[in-house]
Amino acid sequence: MTKDIDISHLKEWIGKSETVSDYLTNSLIDRFCATLDPFLWSEHNAAPLGIQWCTTLPATQTSDLSEDGHAKKGGFLPPVPLPARMWAGGEITHHHNLEPDAPVTRVSRVSDVVAKTGKSGSLIFVTVEQELSSRDRLCITERQDFVFKDFPKADSPKPTAQVYTDTGTQMAEVSPNPVLLFRYSALTFNAHRIHYDQDYARNTEGYPDLVVHGPLQATLLLNLAAKILGKPPRRFSYRGLAPVTLDRSFSLFHAEGKNGGKVWCETDNGVRSFVAHYSDD
């Protein structure tokens, strides 16, 4: 239960920061484009959108990984005593384009730690604020929200999918496969086993199959929004709603809105997995 978690201890991580510098190489951009074409929006002399999640990555030693493949908690992120971690959502603000063949520096700071109780039990939300800069220019600011929870019990009822009444225009269809997940995990140096270890995904974390990355879905939606606007959206807020696994294909949808619009991923059985709102202000 949440009341048994020492939230005051976890809050001691608020304000903790890390800085990672990298170089955005043309070879990384080539591998990124080879993995995600034709879903990418392109602009002359600008790095593809979403590649910020493939650079300034911490080089965690294998000995410092947990059983699930993530870095052991208690370093930059607080030592939350719950085993499952999800990328729940966040918001991006674009200030300037990242450029190819240029240095990049990421400064991250833990800004909040909150305890909640959901249908599945205890939840701990950790918020991280990030700034990405290149050549002394702030390019991207981002808020990332992570949620930690227990693994589902074998007899836990399956969550029911939410029914949505709003409709949109189907823009593209995606048929995920193990090769796509492997290549994206490699691009992001992501060792989380739910993306490549089917036995672990099923038997430990309770998924029916391998899980499609949240940042991968966010990348597809971010590029879709840019295609619609004809430029990167100034603001892009995103949220994970439900997991997508390899037993399902999904489509990208768009709906017009005030000062921007809404884009989302929806599986072939009508479940919305990831949604984002974008605007140009």
Q: What is the pLDDT of residue 218?
A: 98
Per-residue pLDDT tens for 55-64? 999 999 999 9
CATH of the domain at 243: 3.10.129.10
Domain hosting residue 178, numbered range: 2-279
Question: d(Cα 96, Cα 280) in Å, to the nearest integer?
Answer: 13
**pLDDT given for residue 153 in this prediction:** 73
| Predicted pLDDT of residue 190 | 96
Q: How far apart (Å, rounded) are the C-alpha atoms in residues 156 and 271?
A: 20
Q: What type of residue is 260?
A: G
> Cα 37 to chain center, whole Å?
19
Please give the tally of structural domains in the chain.
1
* Helices 214-229 and 26-36: angle between axes, nearest 10 degrees: 90
Phi, psi of 223, deg, nearest 5: -70, -35
CA angle 36, 140, 95 (to 5 degrees): 110
Nearest partner of 144 among 202, 86, 198, 200, judged by Cα: 86
Task: Tell which residue, 117, 113, 125, has the closest CA to residue 1.
Answer: 117
Rounded CA-CA distance 255/167 in Å is 7
Name which of 154, 128, 146, 162 is nearest 84 in CA terms: 146
Measuring CA to CA, which residue among 213, 188, 21 is closest to residue 103? 21
Written as tens digits, the pLDDT of the chain (281 aa) is 455 799 999 999 999 999 999 999 999 999 999 999 989 999 989 999 999 999 999 999 999 999 999 999 999 999 999 999 999 999 999 999 999 999 999 999 999 999 998 777 899 999 999 999 999 999 999 999 999 999 887 666 665 667 677 789 999 999 999 999 999 999 999 999 999 999 999 999 999 999 999 999 999 999 999 999 999 999 999 999 999 999 899 999 999 987 889 999 999 999 999 999 999 98
CB-count burial class (<10 Å; 0-12, 13-18, 19+) for 203: exposed
pLDDT score at 159: 57
